[in-house]
């Protein structure tokens, strides 16, 4: 009986915390109507993306931690969607979260990233996808630094990094 009571209390606490997370993340399940859409057939995506990019962007896969091209990138520049070149993040909001994936505390433009409930793998998470092509980017969590308190945990394979031009 004691184990049941503890399990019930933990479930309730997680449910309340999850509801608070959803409010803080302002989860939206529909695309912004102002965002032009990129729609392609599965054949077109397979032809244009590398096998790993296809796996991440179109099949909601993930790369192993500490293996992606950008998890420890400290160069100044911008990060675009590998599927459609939409500007997603800048190096100004990138930080080392210690999780093994590129992490950002803020998107370049919130209208370019959609948040969706993800209950796969026995977890309750918030998936982030590109609003333009709906490619899977990763997940967002409420354990990031100020000023947002968010951690956009993004697969390197879902992005292309464009270094800033030097102004000498």
Domain count, the chain: 1
Token pair 């590398």 in the structure block, residue:
50
- Residue 103's domain is classified under what CATH number? 2.170.150.20
Sheet holding 77-81, edge to edge: 87-90, 77-81, 159-163
> Is 168 part of any domain?
no
Instruction: Give me the catalytic one of 81, 130, 133, 153.
Output: 153
pLDDT over threshold 50, residue 85:
yes
> Is 32 part of any domain?
yes
pLDDT over threshold 80, residue 27:
no
User: pLDDT, tens digit, for every residue of 120-130?
Assistant: 888 899 999 99
Contact 104, 149 (CB under 8 A): no
How far apart, in Å, are the Cα atoms of 137 and each of 9, 79, 125, 143, 160? 33, 12, 13, 18, 12
**What dihedral do alpha carbons 58, 62, 63, 65 form, nearest 10°?**
160
Q: What is the pTM of this model?
A: 0.80
User: pLDDT, tens digit, for every residue of 112-161?
Assistant: 999 999 998 888 999 999 999 999 999 999 999 999 999 999 999 999 99
DSSP one-letter code for 120: G
Question: Which residue range is the domain that position 38 belongs to?
Answer: 2-163
Q: Give the pLDDT confidence score for residue 34 in this predicted structure.
A: 66
Q: Which helix (H) or strand (E) holds 125?
A: strand 125-130
Instruction: For residue 26, report the phi and psi dihedrals to the nearest 5 degrees.
Output: 50, 55
Q: How many whole angstroms separate alpha carbon 168 and alpha carbon 154?
A: 32
Distance of CA 48 to the CA centre of its chain: 21
In the residue annotation, 153 being an active-site residue is answered as: yes
Q: How many whole angstroms separate alpha carbon 108 and alpha carbon 87?
A: 7
DSSP one-letter code for 26: T
> Is 113 part of any domain?
yes
pLDDT over threshold 80, residue 7:
no
Q: Both tokens of residue 60? A: 């909601």
């Amino acid at each position: 009986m004691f184990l049941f009571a503890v399990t019930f209390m933990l479930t309730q606490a997680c449910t309340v915390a999850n509801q608070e997370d959803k409010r803080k993340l302002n989860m939206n399940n529909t695309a912004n109507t102002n965002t032009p859409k990129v729609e392609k057939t599965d054949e077109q995506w397979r032809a244009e993306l590398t096998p790993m990019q296809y796996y991440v962007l179109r099949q909601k896969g993930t790369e192993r931690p500490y293996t992606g091209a950008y998890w420890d990138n400290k160069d100044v520049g911008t990060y675009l969607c590998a599927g459609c070149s939409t500007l997603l993040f800048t190096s100004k909001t990138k930080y080392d979260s210690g999780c093994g994936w590129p992490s950002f505390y803020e998107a370049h433009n919130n209208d370019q990233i959609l948040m969706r409930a993800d209950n796969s793998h026995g977890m309750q998470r918030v998936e982030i996808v590109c609003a333009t092509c709906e490619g899977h980017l990763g997940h967002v969590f409420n354990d990031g630094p100020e000023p947002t308190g968010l951690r956009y945990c993004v697969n390197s394979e879902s992005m292309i990094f464009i270094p800033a031009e030097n102004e000498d």
